[in-house]
A and B are shown apart, each in its own frame.
Chain A
Amino acid sequence: MMKISPKTATLLVLTALVAITPFFFPSGYYYRVGALIFVNGLAVTGIVILTGYAGQISLGHAGFAGIGGYACALAPVHWGIHPALAVVLGAAISAGLAYLVGRPILRLKGYYLGVATLGFGILVSMVLNNERDLTRGPDGIEVPELGLRAVLKDWGLNLSNGEFWYYFCGLFLIVGAWIALNLHSSPAGRALRALHGSEVAARTVGIDVPRMKLQAFVISAVYASVSGSLLALQNKFITPDVAGFMHSIEMVTMAVLGGVGSVLGAIFGAGILTLLPQVLTVFAEYEQMVLGLVMVLVMIFLREGLLPSILRRLRGRGE
């Protein structure tokens, strides 16, 4: 049998999931849930690079999602930029900001890094809330139509709104995962993982530790920004909640719950946490308790995250 690398395997699994699951969708609503899983999966892939590869924590990454989202809301209106270009603009601003902010704060470790990134996220969401003249404040602002669906229609590909966003976000997720996986096996990726193991050891073998950390921070900021843009364009509406503390926590939780060490694991976590509230509507009263309990139990009993633990058990049985 042909041996396939974990990288190819991950991409194959993802592509198959995106392509095949729609055959089992009983209604248009499932496309919406799927698209949300992909958007969250993209943000979480960035967390894998930052936390899984480089071992750094961020409690403020939603700030970048906010920048990406509001770029799509504001740039087309104020500067007449096409929404698609606004995605790129948002990513560029996020990358620039991550570079500026990352330099000083990545010197901090553990909880100190946590509070510094938390502060960054809160500052961004505060600006979005308070600069009413620009952002229209906490009630949110409309986001222009991307317009790609109409173009596809002209080409003879007629998709419903839900279908379009499902495949579009799915495509972004696959590309995002592909980039992250390539990074993993590149020399830079090996250096990142080395510094996760021990910064001092990494430094002694000649790795430029601050630079590597900064790179991981900037790349993960771009992932968060693009996911924020996709969310804004899909919803055609955005509020400052997207940059809020709870959204930052949600990203980290999804990644760690699924397995922050692997791209597929983190995306799996995004899937679980996106589906959970939809499944729990049956007993909405207990939703918060169940969610809290799931977070605690997984972290205690499946420390590497859900997917790696499950895979290990399966493999252990096979051998």
Chain B
Amino acid sequence: MKKTLTTTALGLLAALGATAAMADIKIGASVSATGPAAFLGDPEAKTLEMLVEETNAAGGINGEKVVLVLYDDGGDPNKARTFATRLVEDDEVVAIVGGTTTGTSMSILSVTEDAEVPFVSLAGAIDIIQPVKPFTFKTPHTDRMACQKIFEDMQKRGFTKVGLISGTDGFGASMQAQCKDVVSDYGIEIVADETYDPKDSDMTAQLTKIRNAEGIQAVLNPGFGQGPSIVTRNYKQLGIELPFYQSHGVASAGFIELAGVEAAEGVRLPGNALLIPELLADGDVQKPIVTAYKAAYEAKTGQPVGTFGGYAHDGWHLVTDAIKRAGSAEPQAIRDALEATSGLAGTTGIYSMSAEDHLGLDLSAFRMLEIRDGKWALVE
């Protein structure tokens, strides 16, 4: 019986493989379209599906059709490793985009590094690209950079004592640790450090504790999903007047809607060009790109764009651009071209990679935004 099932599985896989002709360029993806990180992974999956159609409609890459092999790892690192093995060994893709969470990215990269297949991660942690691994790249800013951007702004406003309220999921916990690591560079002290579970529905207890911290001047909330929306509402409920910062984890119009226009008023966060296409200067190289992606994505899905879908957009373009420049779809050639990426404008920023830098973004890619009357405004 077990064998019959295996053979059925083999049959299905063979049928699947047969649809992709030999000459096509195969790009693999494993993202968390379901599970606890579905909020991030779902827009990533939709973006990739949309972009492969777009690329093929535009004649493919170097005249060849592109095939996307997309798997949903459900946010489980163990499954992600299995899918990465499948992409490399069985589907024989030339490059992989994906790894929604840091955990899944770390699992995928240990497979791709062994197999020498380039991998562009969509997760935040700095560990993914530091130390530099030859075949691993990533598109989002590191959470460390988000902390730096926020503390830079706090420093400008003269704050020296701040409170943290972080989600205990991977995103929140990692950013919490990075922020605590860099905070002293800005002459700022963390006087309150609270956490909440991503499934929690009321954070007033933690916020009350933070509000009562001696001399506190501002509060920062690293996290994604519904947590930050609830924290923002509770913040308003308690009538806390201190300036409030969110992370790039909530940079989407959906956040303002969920937190409520009133509660979100005055919240600052490090966002990117994708959120403010109409505010960009006409000469801005990112403007046409974010405008086009926003229009296409929102027309296709009926949902607002967010930074996470944007990461997948950039990952796809990094890989396809590298294949174009390399003039070859060999993994090694793609890797070399990826590392030579220079001045490629994406939704997140303008990427220029090098042998020492497999992210290729700096702090300038972040734009400090403030929510005013339910809309994003640039803080300069």
Contacts and interface: CB of A to CB of B under 8 A. Distances in A.
A132 to B, nearest CB: 6
A186 interface: no
B107 A235 contact: yes
Given A27-B90, A137-B170, A237 B77 contact: yes
B71 interface: yes
A197 B88 CA distance: 50
Interface of A: 17, 21, 24, 26-30, 32-33, 36, 129-130, 132, 137-140, 142, 161-162, 231, 235-239, 241-242, 268, 271-272, 275, 277-279, 281-282, 284, 287-288, 307, 310
Given A137-B174, A272-B5, A284-B71, A26 B10 contact: yes
A238 B86 CA distance: 19
B3 A278 contact: no
B80 to A, nearest CB: 9
B334 interface: no
Contacts of B33: 284
A282 B125 contact: no
B2 A17 contact: yes
B103 A129 contact: no
Nearest to B73: A277
Contacts of B55: none
B114 A275 contact: no
Given A27-B90, A271-B5, 6 more contacts: A17-B2, A21-B6, A237-B81, A242-B78, A278-B82, A279-B9
A140 B72 contact: no
B16 interface: yes
13 contacts: A27-B90, A28-B85, A32-B85, A32-B86, A138-B170, A138-B174, A162-B89, A235-B77, A235-B81, A237-B103, A271-B2, A282-B12, A287-B72
A113 to B, nearest CB: 24
A287 B72 CA distance: 10
A316 B102 CA distance: 52
B5 to A, nearest CB: 6
B89 A29 contact: yes
B103 A139 contact: yes
Binding site secondary structure of chain B: helix
Contacts of A132: 173, 177
A106 B106 CA distance: 38
Contacts of B85: 28-29, 32, 162
Contacts of A140: 77, 102-103, 106
Given A21-B3, A36-B82, A284-B71, A139 B173 contact: yes
B115 to A, nearest CB: 9
A219 B134 CA distance: 44
Contacts of A235: 77-78, 81, 107, 110
B177 A137 contact: yes
B86 A268 contact: no
A244 to B, nearest CB: 9
Most chain-B Cβ atoms within 10 A of its Cβ — which of A21, A130, A278?
A278
A287 B33 CA distance: 12
B262 interface: no
Contacts of A288: 34
Contacts of A30: 6, 90
A130 to B, nearest CB: 7
B76 interface: yes
Interface in B84-101: 85-86, 88-90, 101
A241 B77 contact: yes
Contacts of A241: 75-78, 103
Contacts of A142: 106
B8 interface: yes
Contact of A237 (B8, B110, B125): B110
A21 B4 CA distance: 11
B324 interface: no
